[in-house]
Structures are given as C-alpha cells and as structure tokens.
Chains A and B, each alone.
Chain A
Amino acid sequence: MRDYRFTTVPGASAAVALTALLWLGLAGTVQATGIGDFVVGSSKAAGLENCVEPTEYMRRNHMEVIRHQRDTTVYGGIRSTKHSLSGCVECHVGYDDKHQPVAIDDDDQFCSACHDYAAVTLNCFDCHATVPQGEAWNQVHPTMGHSLVPGVETQAAAATASAGSAAAPESKTR
C-alpha cells in the first residue's frame, strides 16, 4: 500500500526515480526493523497464527473494532465477543523470567512499542487493567468469540487479499 505512490509514476525524471528508489529502500529498512513484529515473544499471541482478524486488518482498524465492542459491552452487556480489550491484553501481554505478566503499556511491550513508534497516545490503560487480573469471561479463548462489527469479515478478507498481492515479502506479520 505504502509503495504505490512511487511505483505508479512511470514518467518521472531519473533524479526523482533515484530519490524514489532511495526512499523505497529506506522504507523497506524501517519496515523490517520498525513495524516488523511488535508481538512480544513470551506472549500467547506469539504462538498463534493470526490475531482475531487478519493482521493487516487489525493494524489499521483495531481501534475501531475495540471501540465498537466497548459500546456493545457497556450498553448491551455483551462481553463474550472476540473484539474485547481484555482479550487483547490476555493474548498480547508479555511475561518476565519469573512468569509474571508485564504491563502491556510498559515501554517495549505490545501496545506501547507500536504506539510510541507511531507517536499516538493511548489512554485505554488509565482505567483498564494492564495485565489479566481476576477471572474474566472472555479471556480463555478470545479468538473463539464471534464478531459484532458489521462487515468486518469482508473488510478483513479484502485486507488479506491486498496484503497478499502487494506486500508478499512481508511474511512474518502479526
């Protein structure tokens, strides 16, 4: 997706093409080291094939998905679906040497690592628990819940399709 600006300018001058190439290279590097894989090795997520929706979809839309579930939960009392924040925490929280969970918004943990990189402040954890704490209903199999966001499946499928064709080399995505 990111690359299309450059690849669809066939009539550009040599200089521009060179710059574009340089940029492409840079973008490639950044992608590898920066966006590559924020999934914490010790988390449950590291052992799973996919997030609750395809990775490409989640990267761009996780906030919409979470917000939708938020209202469904607060007003409708539906907590068992797969898009709950507690599900995110349960699956993505990392563990230290003593097998104790590390707050998910700590530096270099799943949420903060990416949010710091993208310079987007997140305030979910002003109120929400940063480690799974106390029994909760939807933490056992977050991926097994059903989706409540209309059109999520089709959008997610489209995202996977486009990701498959455009960013094939980006294999280890999660």
Chain B
Amino acid sequence: MSREEEQRVDTQRRRFLGVATAGTVAGTAVGSGALTLGGLAAAVATDAASAPRTEPVSKIHRWGMFVDASKCADGCTACVDACDQENGLNLQSEPHGSNEAKWQNQRSVWIRKVKLQDRASGHVTNLPLMCQHCEHPPCVDVCPTGASFKRADGIVMVDRHTCIGCRYCMMACPYKARSFIHEQVDQKLTRAPRGKGCVESCNLCAHRLDEGDISTACAQACADENHHAIVFGDLKDPTSPVRQAMAKQASRQIREDLQLNTGVRYAGL
C-alpha cells in the first residue's frame, strides 16, 4: 500500500523532472524525453570525459546493466573472477579452523552464477546475479543507521563508516546480493576497503566510474570471453550501449512483482 503511494508520488515527481530537465527513464521505460534528448546527450558528453570526477554524482545518470541470459555460458565464471580481482574479494582468507563448506557459504561474493533448469523441458539457463541496484531498495528502507544508501546516480551501496553490521539489509534483499565480513581481513586493495563487521555488495565498480571509466569488471570480462552477455551503461541515456541493447530486445526484472524497478535487467529468461 505504501509502495503504491510512494510510486504515485514518484511518478509525479518524475513527470515534473521530465519537463524541467531531461527525458526521464524509469528503468526499461523507453525514454519519454525525445524532446530533450539533445540536451541530455550533451550533458552526457561533457560528463563522460575520461577524468576523475570533481563534481558530486548527480541524477543525470542512472547506472545499470542489461544481461542476456541466453548468451551466458554454462560453466563460465569470467565475470565472477573478474569481480573478485577488481574488488579484492580474492584476497579473503578462510578463517583458521573454519570448515570449507561453511566458508564457501560465508565468504563475501558480489556476483553469483545462477543456473535454472526448467523441470518440464530440461532447458538450462545461466545468469549472473548481483545487486540489482533497485530504485526502491528494501536494503535502504530497513537500514537503521542510514549506512545502506542509494547514490544520486542510482548505485546502491554501504557506507562502511556507519554500518553497524546488524545485517537487516541482508535479510531484506530479495536477491541475496549482500555479504557480511565476519573476520578481520589482512589484505585489501586501496580501491576496495573491507573490514570486519560490515555488509557489502556490488557497487557497479563505482571507483571506475568516479575515475571517468564507464565500465565494470564483469561486463568487460564477459566481452573479453566473447560472450557479451553483460552490457553496462547509463539507463537514462538513450544512446548508451545498455539502452541500445534494451531497445533491441525484450528484458525483464527478476521478481518484478516486487516493483523495485531494478537497474539490472535480464533478457532470455
């Protein structure tokens, strides 16, 4: 009920913004802002200049991904491995005395390879599942400290400085996207701080974006493997690769019944 109410308000706000600034994109919705398309494209052009950002992120962009599950290869873990490397997840070490199965279940993971099989036909679908960067993120709703937040450009992440490790957000997330760091981590990358007692999840390689590099490790790795199952880009820019891909092919949200308006969309499901 409150969700409906929120959406109603939201729609109006978007319509207002649509008039005031630029074409609005609610996820997949094909931009209604043909009128202001030029303006948006110009803004994107200046903003995308490959340099570290000096202005705070803004809602000119909404970052997201398009995943074509039909291209996602069985047995391939390129995206997961690349993510591990990029975000220092491979530097986690198994705590002394823990058993292997428990550790595999507990270690922080940002992307999971999910395999679905249709019982009737036996058809197998593979897909990478990560934080869906919901427009209405339940993880943010439940966070008691405000640590779980949505950046202006749509990236949902955790401010570890204020996270108290209550793990409410892990329970609230419908996609099992979040991980908890149980132990002190010895090795960490400068770009990916990590410490005991905080929750974390995919941040769409925010450090790359902030540097002016519009890419994610997973999409890049997938393309390098010649699978091209993951496309990353700006959902608000009709000329971006992600929007181009979405324009060509029907896509859907996982658990669209929850009306979270996810930033990651899937085709071939």
Contact = CB atoms under 8 A, between A and B. Distances in A.
B partners with A: yes
B159 interface: yes
Contacts of A70: 161
Interface string B167-197: 0000000000000000011011111111110
Given A70-B161, A74-B161, A126-B196, A132 B190 contact: yes
B195 A79 contact: no
A81 B132 CA distance: 30
A86 B184 CA distance: 19
Nearest to B198: A127
Contacts of A134: 88, 189-192
Interface stretch (B53-61, B107-115, B226-234): B53-61
Contacts of A133: 187-190
Interface stretch (B5-13, B74-82, B202-210, B244-252): B202-210
A75 B151 contact: yes
A151 interface: no
A44 to B, nearest CB: 15
Nearest to B192: A134
Contacts, number: 78
Given A128-B193, A134-B191, A77 B209 contact: yes
B contacts with A: majority SS: loop
A72 B54 CA distance: 10
Contacts of A126: 184, 195-196
A78 to B, nearest CB: 6
Given A70-B161, A79-B211, A136 B196 contact: no
| Most A C-beta atoms less than 10 A away, residue of B57, B157, B189 | B189
What bracket does the count of chain A residues touching chain B fall in? 20 to 34
B160 interface: yes
Contact of A76 (B57, B184, B196): B57
| The 5 A-B residue pairs with the shortest CB-CB distance in the complex, in nearest-first order | A127-B195, A76-B56, A80-B52, A134-B189, A127-B193
Interface of B: 52-57, 88, 149, 151, 153, 157, 159-161, 184-185, 187-196, 198, 206-207, 209-211
